[in-house]
Amino acid sequence: MLETTIAAIRPLDESAMTAARELHGRLTKPAGSLGALEELSVRLAGLAGACPPPLPEPAAVAIFAGDHGVHAQGVTPWPQEVTGQMIANFLAGGAVVNAFARQAGASVTVVDVGVATPLPAAETPGPAVLDPHSPRLVSASVRPGTRDLAVTAALTRDEARTAVQTGIRIADELIDAGAGILLTGDMGIGNTTPAAVLIAAFTGADPLDSTGRGTGVDDPTYARKVAVVRAALARHTPDPADPLGVLAAVGGLEHAALAGLILGAAARRTPVLLDGVIAVSAALAAAAFAPAAVGAMVAGHRSAEPGATVALRHLGLDPLIDLGLRLGEGTGALLALPVVTGAVRVLHEVATFDSAGVAEK
């Protein structure tokens, strides 16, 4: 399934991109006046293979949740139980991601890929339904949290593959249910540590540049976190040409599943709007599996985590908004969604100089 998904990921359609550039030149606005929205809409035309591309509606957020053995190294001040407790909060509609999803009209699917504590909620029965007011839970736990990457490989290759394939399956289910765009979300206390190792592994960045303060760690905790990232790289020597091996050695279950979601979206030629540092670390893995997957990625925002900027630069992506957010859950992606929709809507709705009778220079 992973291999067939990778094989299905194709480059952008040049003729649809040419048509979109040509259409932009005829719309009632000075050429280039919509800045980054123009190139984004051209890319989405290339992804869809059509000009105009479909409006990216409805939107579906997939929040992958997992726990982390590296929590034992004291890399975050928060107790591990908060991961499961926040899932209950997501399902009750009380988290920031829920508020933003309701505002954006996006559905929320929470996927347990490896939460360590027992969850209060059971899987939501039935097929995926894209209802912005009813968050759903999918139970797809690979194992109860990763092993401690400071001590041993976080996952076996098989476990990492299962998590990636879960992400692909969720992408397929959401797209089959009608989603026109997927948004990445994450929940996992401690997950900025594996994100920092993944970013260093795939980009070659120094741990000081790939590691941030996550939920807001103090100076001694930050120093410990950087040391854990540096030691993990030395212990595992992850090979960026072997993304499954990298995810297994130093990743998290939600990072692996997010990589799968991104690959699944790219294979279905559906845009995937990336959230913060966890999402972009997973995007590096997706790009290592299939470089053409970058064509489906839209960087929602620039997380305050420094590793996010390192990863975005490596992917060649410019984030749409930069608000100093450092929350995760999918919140930054949701705030960027109207920008993506606006970029596409222009190609659908704006009159041409000809049709509107507006004189050209």
Ligand X SMILES: Cc1cc2ncn([C@H]3O[C@H](COP(=O)(O)O)[C@@H](O)[C@H]3O)c2cc1C
User: Does the footprint of ligand NIO cover residue 326 (CB under 6 A)?
Assistant: yes
User: Does the footprint of ligand X cover residue 86 (CB under 6 A)?
Assistant: yes
Residue 237: which region, alpha, beta or left (left: phi > 0; alpha: psi -120 to 50)? left
Q: Which of 305, 329, 349, 360 is catalytic?
A: 329
Based on CB atoms, which residue is closest to ligand X, 172 or 329? 329
Task: Compute the distance between CA of residue 190 and CA of residue 76 in angstroms, rounded to an integer.
Answer: 6
Name, in order, each residue with C-beta under 8 angstroms of 333's C-beta and a sequence gap of 6 or more: 61, 183, 184, 185, 273, 274, 275, 279, 300, 301
Pairing outcome for strands 272-274 and 181-187: parallel
In the list 166, 192, 211, 309, the residue contacting ligand X (rule: CB under 6 A) is 192
Query: Least CB distance from residue 243 to ligand NIO, whole Å?
Result: 20
User: Does the footprint of ligand X cover residue 76 (CB under 6 A)?
Assistant: yes
Task: Compute the distance between CA of residue 147 and CA of residue 151 in angstroms, rounded to an integer.
Answer: 8
Using CB positions, name the residue nearest to ligand NIO. 276
Tell me whether residue 329 is one of the annotated catalytic residues.
yes
Task: Compute the distance between CA of residue 106 and CA of residue 328 in angstroms, rounded to an integer.
Answer: 16
Taking residue 114's Cβ as centre, other Cβ atoms within 10 Å add up to: 29
Residues 208-247 that bind ligand NIO (CB under 6 A): 214-215
Task: Compute the distance between CA of residue 327 and CA of residue 304 in angstroms, rounded to an integer.
Answer: 9
Q: Are 347 and 20 in contact (CB under 8 A)?
A: yes
User: Does the footprint of ligand X cover residue 82 (CB under 6 A)?
Assistant: yes
Question: What order of strands is seen across the sheet that includes strand 59-66?
Answer: 136-139, 107-114, 59-66, 181-187, 272-274, 297-299
User: Does the footprint of ligand NIO cover residue 308 (CB under 6 A)?
Assistant: yes
Torsion angle, alpha carbons of 20, 315, 333, 321, to 10: -80
Q: Which stretch binds ligand NIO (CB under 6 A): 29-37, 38-46, 124-132, 300-308?
A: 300-308
User: Does the footprint of ligand NIO cover residue 255 (CB under 6 A)?
Assistant: no
Q: Which does 188 bind (CB under 5 to 8 A by kind): ligand NIO, ligand X, none?
A: ligand X
Residue 14: which region, alpha, beta or left (left: phi > 0; alpha: psi -120 to 50)? alpha
User: Does the footprint of ligand X cover residue 184 (CB under 6 A)?
Assistant: no
Residues 201-260 that bind ligand X (CB under 6 A): 214-215
DSSP result, 126-174: SS----TT--EEEE--SSSS---TTTS-SS-HHHHHHHHHHHHHHHHHH
Residue from 164, 59, 66 nearest 102 by CA: 59
Query: Least CB distance from residue 17 to ligand NIO, whole Å?
Result: 30
The binding track of 261-280 with respect to ligand NIO, each residue x by CB under 6 A or -, is: --------------xxxx--
In the list 5, 191, 211, 309, the residue contacting ligand X (rule: CB under 6 A) is 191
In the list 188, 252, 295, 300, the residue contacting ligand X (rule: CB under 6 A) is 188
Q: Angle at the Cα of 281 (from 278 to 282), degrees rounded to 5? A: 90
User: Does the footprint of ligand X cover residue 67 (CB under 6 A)?
Assistant: no
Based on CB atoms, which residue is closest to ligand NIO, 9 or 196? 196
User: Does the footprint of ligand X cover residue 187 (CB under 6 A)?
Assistant: yes
Query: Least CB distance from residue 341 to ligand X, whole Å?
Result: 25
Active site residues: 329
Q: What are the residues binding ligand NIO (CB under 6 A)?
A: 192, 214-215, 275-278, 303, 305, 308, 326-328
Q: What are the residues binding ligand X (CB under 6 A)?
A: 76, 78, 82, 86, 186-193, 214-215, 327-329
